[in-house]
Amino acid sequence: MGGVNRALRFALAFVPLAVGCSHPSVRQCDAMLDRYLDLTEDDDPALAGLDGEERAGVRSERLGERRASLAYLDAERRCAAETTPSEQACAMAAPSAGEWEACFDPHW
């Protein structure tokens, strides 16, 4: 159930408003979105108490599920159409999920 809530949070968090500017490529968007997934995945309670290869396997599986979600695919589409280069650069440099989210319009 936590994965569904995270997917919804992820989808709602990605609604940047950018008009009349260039946008990141799909590859840049994927890198930016994957960064967000990385920043939020370690907070997953399902990973608590796991370490080493077991943790890496569960984490990899969960990231794959999130990347295949409709929320991720929608965010990828929106990124390529609406995100500014400065928003993308900010998100790639953000040290936390909260700061990543703060790189975009507050109406997320």
Instruction: Tell me the average pLDDT across 50-76.
Output: 88
Residue 47 placed within a domain: yes
Indicate the pLDDT class of residue 55, thresholds 50, 70 and 90.
Answer: confident
Among candidates 32, 39, 35, which has minimal Cα distance to 79? 32
Structural domain for 32, as ranges: 2-102
Give the chain's mean pLDDT: 80
Residue 76 within any structural domain of the chain: yes
Burial 22-54 (b: 16+ CB within 10 A, else e): ebbeeebbbebbebbbebbbeeeeebeeeeeee
Asked whether residue 40 carries a pLDDT value surpassing 60, the answer given is yes
Residue 108 within a domain: no
- Report if pTM > 0.75: no
Q: Give the count of domains, the chain.
A: 1
pLDDT at 17: 40
Summarize pLDDT for 74-94 with one digit per residue, the tens: 999 999 998 988 999 999 999
